[in-house]
Structure 1
């Protein structure tokens, strides 16, 4: 799986509305001890905490879906990319990889 493929799979996690299906995606994309932070959430740990936060956030998104903008750069075990949430929002994420899964995500809203 390429860096771009893994990032797209991560965005699929955010787009998945069914909690059980989202958990299955998370297992293939994120390490079990993954950490997520953005301006709204600080240090969410593991799949359950992130899935709960995604469910709450989706209630505010309506039908909007995340899409990859650009992979700005990737080196060693990290990547920086932009994303769009429909036409409503944009942002940047920095992800850290552990092999073929993501260990941490730090998100920024533009």
Structure 2
């Protein structure tokens, strides 16, 4: 799986409303101890913590979906991409890979 494929699969995790299905997706996209940080969340670690936050966010978003606006760059074991949440929000994420899964995510809202 290419880095871009993994990034798209990662957004599928955020778009999955069902917690059980979301954790199943996470296992193929994120390492077990993946670290997630954004302006609202400092240091979430692992599938359970991230899934819990995604579940709360999904409840607030209704039918809004995250999409990739652009993969800005990929080099070595890192990538930078720009995302959109419907027409209401945009941001950037920097991800670090461990093989073909994501080890850490640092998100920025714009």
TM range (shorter): over 0.9
Aligned to 2:63, what secondary structure does the other structure show?
A: coil
In structure 2, the partner of 1:64 is 64
Deviation at 1:68, TM superposition (A): 0.5
Aligned to 1:43, what secondary structure does the other structure show?
A: strand
In structure 1, the partner of 2:38 is 38
TM-score (norm 1): 0.99
In structure 2, the partner of 1:84 is 84
CA distance in 1, matches of 2:84, 2:19: 22
TM-score (norm 2): 0.99
CA distance in 2, matches of 1:35, 1:10: 13
Deviations 1:55-102 (A, max 9, x none): 011111111000011110111000000000011100000000000000
> 1:1-110, aligned counterparts within 5 Å?
1-110=1-110
Aligned length: 110
Aligned to 2:42, what secondary structure does the other structure show?
A: coil
Aligned to 1:64, what secondary structure does the other structure show?
A: coil
Deviation at 1:52, TM superposition (A): 0.1
Gaps of 5+ in 2: none
